[in-house]
Amino acid sequence: MRAAELFIEKKLDERRLAGNYRALKPESTLVDFCSNDYLGFAHSAVLKSKIDNEVKISGLISNGATGSRLLSGNSNYTDELEKYIALVHKSEAGLIFNSGYDANLGLFSSLPHRGDTIITDELIHASIIDGARLSYANRYIFKHNDLQGLEDKLKQAKGNCYVAIESVYSMDGDTPPIGEILKLTHKYNANLIVDEAHAVGLYGFGLIDEHLQNQVFARIVTFGKALGCHGAIVLGSNLLREYLINFARPFIYTTAAPVHQMAAIKMAYQFLKQSLTEIEMLRNNISLFKQKIKNNSTYPLIKSDSAIQCVVLKSNEKAKAVATDLQNNGLDVRAIVSPTVPIGGERIRICLHSFNTAEEIILLTNIINELINVG
Ligand SMILES: Cc1ncc(COP(=O)(O)O)c(C=O)c1O
């Protein structure tokens, strides 16, 4: 065997031994308690027909974009869509990326430079960590939602300083004290960047409303979660948009998404404006879950008001065993194991949706309550 293959085998064996080997699973037919499709948009026949109609009436006939947006891949439709989305979010401008991962990678790798500082919450998404790593800036991490910890790091910051948070954290589902964090970033002349990936949907177009948006340096909104599509936008000033077009490598060196994907995004935005009933149904399901789940001091429920609810089971084995039990009962709940979460933080992560029925949620909570009480 070649040395490279020996290396691969060793790394995979280490993963198996640690109980965190990753493998692709076939499509699930179980009740969805794990996807980001919070409002059911990804499978909505009504939205699908709106998208088909939009593609037809707008004459979006190409199958592929044919190149990077800086070469042959741009379209008037995409330019207009960026203006429309910026308007919806009350932002001066926006730039669409092929995914949320690309958006964060592009923003955080290109903007902070050597001598600058990036400060992130310890639970920040991997795409921001990866972007920050590519930037050569100084990097600091503060304890989750810890204002004192953030202030300590702000005091040490040099150069231009960027603070990154999520408005709903993807792993814990909780929301940071955004107002307090903004006050601190103002005090230390730092720039706040907020990833709204999991806030859009339950909280309409996000938690950074018109009062806050002028004070935030940039926002990232992803289209692959509650909007049921794919892609993302960085919202900010015209200047920032021009900068990213010039320097963000995940924007520059990639084929643009096909224009029918843009039609899907536009229709999903319009659909969200009309989806007050679905948002209400999601809120009711979150309340029902929280009402029925018993908090257990050994295996605590992480405090969250969002569609993401986690029971911490403290080991890969326990998290996987509980997830398997739930799956055997027809409920698609996934274990989140280390190293995705820190050791001791292994959990089952439940994503609630507008389309989950009360019966499904009661079955889910009954089984979890029983499994974690028997130890
Ligand atoms: C907070 C957050 N930001 C960014 C991303 C990446 O978005 P995408 O899935 O569109 O690449 C995710 C996806 O998991 C996320 O949870």
What is the residue-level pLDDT of the chain in tens, covering all 375 positions?
Answer: 899 999 999 999 999 998 888 899 899 999 999 999 999 999 999 999 999 999 999 999 999 999 999 999 999 999 999 999 999 999 999 999 999 999 999 999 999 999 999 999 999 999 999 999 999 999 999 999 999 999 999 999 999 999 999 999 999 999 999 999 999 999 999 999 999 999 999 999 999 987 888 899 999 999 999 999 999 999 999 999 999 999 999 999 999 999 999 999 999 999 999 999 999 999 999 999 999 999 888 999 999 999 999 999 999 899 999 999 999 999 999 999 988 888 999 999 999 999 999 999 999 999 999 988 755
Q: Is 8 helix (H, G, I), strand (E, B) or coil?
A: helix
Distance CA(222)–CA(231), nearest Å, equals 6
- Rounded distance from Cα 197 to ligand 1 centre (Å): 6
364 closest CA partner among 45, 26, 31: 31
Gap between the Cα atoms of 34 and 28, Å rounded: 10
Interhelix angle 126-133/100-110, rounded to 10 degrees, is: 30
- Look up residue 301 and give its two tokens: 């429920």
Whose CA is closest to atom 16 on ligand 1?
170
37 lines ligand 1 (CB under 6 A): no
What's the pTM?
A: 0.96
Report pLDDT for 373: 76
Q: How many CB atoms lie within 10 A of CB 312?
A: 22
Tell me the one-letter amino acid at 268.
A
Give the largest CA-CA distance in the chain: 61
Q: In residues, how long is the chain?
A: 375
Instruction: Determine which residue's CA is closest to atom 10 belonging to ligand 1.
Output: 100
Give the Å distance between the CA of 371 and the centre of ligand 1: 31
Please tell me if the CB atom of residue 250 comes closer than 6 angstroms to any atom of ligand 1: no
Could you give the dihedral angle defined by the CA atoms of residues 287, 288, 293 and 297, in that order, rounded to the nearest 10 degrees? Answer: 10
Q: What is the DSSP letter of 93?
A: E
C-beta separation of 51 from 267 below 8 A: yes
CA of 124 to the centre of ligand 1 (A): 10
What was the pLDDT predicted at 322? 95
Q: Is the CB of 233 under 6 A from ligand 1?
A: no
* β 191-195/161-166 pair status: parallel
Contact residues for 58 (Cβ-Cβ < 8 A; gap 6+):
77, 263
User: 182-203: string of b/e by CB count within 10 Å (b at 16+)?
Assistant: bebbeebebbbbbbbbbbbbbb
Which of 125, 168, 175, 202 has most ligand 1 atoms within 8 Å of CB, for mutation?
Answer: 125
For ligand 1, whether the C-beta of 185 sits within 6 Å is no
| 36 alpha carbon – ligand 1 mean position (Å) | 10
CATH class of segment(s) 46-273: alpha beta
Q: Judge if the beta carbon of residue 269 lies within 6 A of ligand 1.
A: no
The domains of the chain are located at: 21-39+275-373, 46-273
Residue 42 CB burial class (10 angstroms; 0-12, 13-18, ≥19): buried
Decide if 21-39+275-373 and 46-273 have a common fold.
Answer: no
| Residue 101 beta carbon below 6 angstroms from any ligand 1 atom | yes
Question: Can you give the pLDDT at residue 234?
Answer: 98
Is the shortest distance between the CB of 197 and ligand 1 below 6 Å?
A: yes
117, 160 Cβ separation under 8 angstroms: yes
User: Measuring from atom 4 of ligand 1, which residue has the nearest CA?
Assistant: 100
Ligand 1 centroid from CA 274, angstroms: 24
3 Cβ contact list (under 8 Å, min separation 6)? none
CATH for 21-39+275-373? 3.90.1150.10
State the pLDDT at residue 374: 57
Q: Report the nearest atom of ligand 1 relative to the CA of 224.
A: 10
Would you state the pLDDT for residue 209? Answer: 82
